[in-house]
Amino acid sequence: MTLYVLFFMFVQIGLFTIGGGLATLPLLKEAAVDGGFLSLGEFIDMVAISQSTPGPIGVNLATIVGYRLEGILGGVIATVGIIAPSLLISMVIARWMRNYADHPTVQSIMTGIRACALGLIASAAWFILREAVFTGDSGGATGLEWLVALTDIRALVLFVLMGAVYVFKPAWPVVYIVVGGVLGVLFL
């Protein structure tokens, strides 16, 4: 892959990602994994690293993927590529919204964009849940045993436990990431 192709791959992702970092996951997976540049396992590991490092997950993931594909310069190029569209669009929209934010058409557009962003984030959440909790091997089981056989029960328990603790005792997300990593080493 050339740096030029890498740059425009991430410009495309940055241009069509609405809803924040998690919304980039389906597009990044399609470009990197489905495009044959990374294995699914490598991509999942990069998502985990991106989630646990400071900064927006989409930018972190772009940097890691770019670095993995083309070294340090690839990381820089991918990062600039994913950031450039949103920077330019934000500057234009900020200027435009000042005059038209209350217009009914603009409100309708924003409602549609929010719904689309939620769908992309839900898709990313399902993708991560599926890869983290479900094994994909039922061993020929049927019925309820089929679902149990497909599920990594320890990972599911950790997922539910960490989610419940976060809901009832919110803290800095890094604390949960570190605890999840430690529990993963101890129990998974």
Under the banding of pLDDT at 50, 70 and 90, the label for residue 10 is very high
The larger pLDDT score, comparing residue 6 to residue 53, is at: 6
Query: What does the pLDDT read at residue 141?
Result: 65
- Predicted confidence band at 40 (pLDDT cuts at 50, 70, 90)? confident
Burial status of residue 143 (CB atoms within 10 A of its CB: 0-12, 13-18, 19 or more): exposed
DSSP 42-103: HHHHHHHHHHHSSS-HHHHHHHHHHHHHHHHHHHHHHHHHHHHHHHHHHHHHHHHHHHHTT-
Q: What is the pTM of this model?
A: 0.63
Output the average pLDDT for the chain: 84
pLDDT score recorded for residue 76 = 96
Name beta bridge partners: 134: 151
Q: What is the distance between the alpha carbons of residues 34 and 28, in angstroms, rounded to a whole number?
A: 9
